[in-house]
C-alpha cells in the first residue's frame, strides 16, 4: 500500500507537527489542520489550573475562528477556488480545504485564520443565535434524538452523552474569555497537527509554515475524564415526537481495554460477523421484515468509551432488541469462525480504501496521530487478529444488562 504514497512526519520549528502524504499521480491537494480538542473536553487542567467550560464550547469555537474583524475565511477561499470546511467531533476539531490550484495561498489562509483568533461580545452574541437555531433543527431529527437518548441512558458521567453543539442554555454561558481560554489551551501549535495529502510540494509547505507560524511555548494540558461506572443509567428511553416514524438506537456499553485501537478493530470484525450483511442474523431479520434498509450497526468509540450501536426505523424496536440478544447468546456457544476471514478481509479492505483518496487519507492521518499511531498501523493490526481472539472477545461483549434501547418518534417502544 505504501508504494502508492510517500509518508513523512516533520516537527516544525514552531512546534507544529506536519504529516506529508505524497500520493503518486494525484493532481489534487488536501490540507487538514487538527486540534486535539473536541466536545467531550469540558474540563481540563492547564498549567496547573483547572478549567470547566460550557457544553458546546469546542463547536462554538470552530464556528467563530472563521471570522475576524474584516471578513470571513470562506470569502477569502472563494478567491483561490479552494473548497473549504471544518468539523467538530467528540474528540477533535479540524479545518480543511481541497484544491487543484493556488495551494500556497489557500494554506496561508488556513494558517492565518486558525492561528489569529478574534472574539468580541457582539460576534459571540450573534453566533449564539445562529447555533441555537442549529440546535433546534436537530431537536426535530428523530435519529439524532434516538442516538443521544441512547447515550444518555448509557453514560452517567461521561460528556459524550451531550450533544456536540451543546444546548441553548449551555451556549448562552459562552463568553469571549471562555473562547480565548480554550483557544490558548488547545490551539497551541505544539498540540496540533497539519496533514497534507495528494499533490505535495514539501518546500512550499515548509516555507509557508516558516512565514506564518511563530514558535510557541508548549502548554501543558491534562484532560479530565470523569469516573464512569460500568453500569448503565437506564435501559429504556422514549422521546415522543408527534407525526414522526419511530427511529431506534440500541446500544451496548462496553469496557475499555488497554489497546483501544486494537479493540476498535476487533470490535468491527465481530460486529460485522454478528450483524453485518454477511451475517445470518441480518438476513433473517431483513427477510422477515423485522428490519429494513435503514438498519445499521457500528462501533461507537473514542477516548474512554466504546459501545456497539444498532440503529434503524420502524415500530419493531423491541423485536429487534430481542433478536439481537437471542443471537448473541447463541453465538457465545457456537461462534461462526467461517465468517471470521470474510469479516476480517472486509475490514482490511475498508481501511485500505482510505489510502485511495486525498481527503480520507488526510483525515485518517490526523485521527491516527492524535491516537498515538501512524497511518498504516490499523491495517497492520488487522492482519494480526485471529479467530480465537475474536471468539474470546465476543464472549465478553453485548451484555443485555448493559444495553439501552432508545426510541424517538410517534408511538414509543412496541
In tens, the pLDDT along 230-273 reads 999 999 999 999 888 999 999 999 999 889 999 999 999 999 99
Query: Running DSSP on this structure, what letter comes out for residue 164?
Result: T
Q: Which of 216, 251, 255, 219 is nearest to 237 (CA)?
A: 251
pLDDT in tens, 45-59: 998 899 999 999 999
- Which band of pLDDT confidence, cut at 50, 70 and 90, is reported for residue 3? low
Q: What is the pTM of this model?
A: 0.93
For 144, residues 6+ apart whose C-beta sits below 8 A from its C-beta are: 138
Statement to judge: residues 288 and 215 lie in one domain: no
Q: CA 35, CA 39: separation in Å to the nearest integer?
A: 12
DSSP code string of 40-83: T--EEEETTEEEE--TTHHHHHHHHHTB-SS-BHHHHHHHHT-E
Verify whether residue 11 is a known catalytic residue.
Answer: no
pLDDT in tens, 283-307: 999 999 999 999 999 999 998 999 9
Whether residues 105 and 137 share a domain: the answer is yes
Q: Which of 223, 254, 270 is the last residue of a domain?
A: 223
Give pLDDT tens digits for 307-326: 999 999 988 999 999 999 99
Q: Same domain, yes or no, for 300 and 157? A: no
Query: Do 287 and 242 reside in the same domain of the chain?
Result: yes
CATH code where residue 29 lies: 3.30.830.10
Asked if residues 32 and 94 have their Cβ atoms less than 8 Å apart, the reply is: yes
What is the bridge-based pairing of β-strands 247-253 and 305-313?
antiparallel
Candidate list 8, 43, 62, 338, residue with the active-site label: 62
Q: Do 249 and 198 lie in a common domain? A: no
| 8 Å CB contact between 93 and 58 | yes
225 pLDDT above the threshold of 90: no
* Residues 300 and 252 occupy one common structural domain: yes
Is pLDDT above 70 for 414?
Answer: no
3-class SS of residue 271: helix
* pLDDT score recorded for residue 412: 55
- Position 297 in a domain: yes
Average pLDDT, the chain: 94
**Full domain range(s) for residue 121:** 5-223
Same domain, 203 and 246: no
pLDDT at 67: 81
* 414 located within any domain: no
- pLDDT of 315: 86
Question: So what's the pLDDT on residue 70?
Answer: 65
Judge whether 231 lies within some domain. Answer: no
| Arithmetic mean of pLDDT, 26-54 | 95
Closest by Cα among 227, 154, 228, 155 to 403: 154
- Provide the pLDDT for residue 375: 94
The answer to whether 34 and 100 have CB atoms below 8 angstroms apart is no
pLDDT tier at 64, thresholds 50, 70, 90? very high
Q: Give the DSSP per-residue string, 97-146.
A: EEESS-HHHHHHHHHHHHHS----HHHHHHHHHHHHHHHHHHHT-HHHHH
204 and 271 belong to one structural domain: no
Alpha-carbon distance of 304 to 404, in angstroms, equals 18
Residues 158 and 274 in one domain: no
Residue 106 has pLDDT above 90, yes or no: yes
Q: Is residue 229 assigned to a domain?
A: no
Whether 123 and 77 map to the same domain: the answer is yes
Q: Residues 216, 240: one domain?
A: no
Contact 24, 136 (CB under 8 A): no
Render pLDDT for 169-204 as a digit per residue (tens, 0 to 9): 999 999 999 999 999 999 999 999 999 999 999 999
How many CB atoms neighbour CB 128 within 10 A?
A: 16
Rounded Cα distance between 101 and 27, Å, is: 9
Report the distance separating Cα 407 and Cα 145, nearest Å.
8
Average pLDDT (130-144) is: 93
Asked if residue 82 has pLDDT above 80, the reply is: yes
Q: How many domains does the chain have?
A: 2
DSSP-derived letter for residue 251 is E
**What is the three-state SS of 2-34?**
CCCEEEEEEECCCCCEEEEEEECCCCCEEEEEE
Classify strands 296-302 and 192-198 as parallel, antiparallel or unpaired. Answer: unpaired
Amino acid at each position: 500500500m505504501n508504494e502508492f504514497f510517500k509518508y513523512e512526519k516533520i516537527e516544525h520549528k514552531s512546534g507544529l507537527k506536519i504529516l506529508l502524504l505524497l500520493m503518486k499521480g494525484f493532481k489534487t491537494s488536501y490540507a487538514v489542520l487538527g486540534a486535539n480538542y473536541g466536545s467531550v473536553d469540558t474540563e481540563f487542567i492547564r498549567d496547573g489550573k483547572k478549567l470547566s467550560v460550557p457544553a458546546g464550547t469546542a463547536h462554538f469555537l470552530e464556528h467563530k475562528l472563521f471570522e475576524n474583524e474584516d471578513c470571513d475565511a470562506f470569502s477569502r477561499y472563494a478567491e483561490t477556488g479552494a473548497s473549504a470546511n471544518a468539523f467538530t467531533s467528540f474528540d477533535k476539531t479540524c479545518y480543511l480545504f481541497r484544491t487543484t490550484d493556488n495551494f500556497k495561498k489557500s494554506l496561508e489562509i488556513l494558517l492565518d485564520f486558525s492561528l489569529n483568533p478574534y472574539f468580541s461580545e457582539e460576534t459571540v452574541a450573534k453566533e449564539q443565535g445562529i447555533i441555537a437555531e442549529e440546535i433546534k433543527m436537530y431537536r426535530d431529527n428523530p435519529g439524532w434524538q434516538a442516538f443521544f437518548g441512547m447515550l444518555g441512558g448509557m453514560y452517567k458521567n461521561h460528556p459524550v452523552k451531550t450533544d456536540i453543539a451543546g444546548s441553548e442554555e449551555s451556549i448562552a454561558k459562552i463568553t469571549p474569555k471562555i473562547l480565548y481560554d480554550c483557544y490558548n489551551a488547545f490551539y497551541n501549535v505544539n498540540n496540533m497537527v497539519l496533514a497534507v495529502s495528494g499533490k505535495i510540494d514539501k518546500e512550499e509547505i515548509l516555507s509557508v509554515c516558516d512565514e506564518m507560524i511563530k514558535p510557541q511555548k508548549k502548554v501543558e494540558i491534562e484532560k479530565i475524564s470523569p469516573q464512569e461506572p460500568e453500569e448503565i443509567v437506564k435501559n429504556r428511553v422514549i422521546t415522543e415526537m408527534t407525526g414522526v416514524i419511530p427511529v431506534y438506537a440500541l446500544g451496548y456499553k462496553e469496557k475499555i481495554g488497554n489497546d483501544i485501537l486494537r479493540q476498535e478493530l476487533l470490535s468491527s470484525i465481530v460486529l460485522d460477523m454478528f450483524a453485518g450483511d454477511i451475517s445470518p442474523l441480518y438476513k433473517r431479520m431483513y427477510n422477515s421484515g423485522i428490519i429494513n434498509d435503514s438498519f445499521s450497526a457500528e462501533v461507537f468509540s473514542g477516548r474512554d468509551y466504546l459501545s456497539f450501536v444498532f440503529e434503524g426505523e420502524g415500530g419493531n424496536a423491541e423485536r429487534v432488541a430481542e433478536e439481537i440478544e437471542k443471537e448473541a447468546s447463541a453465538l457465545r456457544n457456537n461462534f461462526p469462525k467461517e465468517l471470521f476471514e470474510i469479516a476480517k478481509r472486509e475490514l482490511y479492505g475498508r481501511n485500505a480504501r482510505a489510502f485511495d483518496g486525498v481527503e480520507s487519507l488526510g483525515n485518517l492521518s490526523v485521527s491516527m496521530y492524535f491516537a498515538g499511531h501512524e497511518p498504516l498501523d490499523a491495517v497492520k493490526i488487522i492482519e494480526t487478529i485471529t479467530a480465537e481472539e475474536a471468539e474470546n472477545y465476543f464472549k465478553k461483549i453485548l451484555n443485555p444488562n448493559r444495553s439501552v434501547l432508545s426510541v424517538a418518534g410517534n408511538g414509543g417502544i412496541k
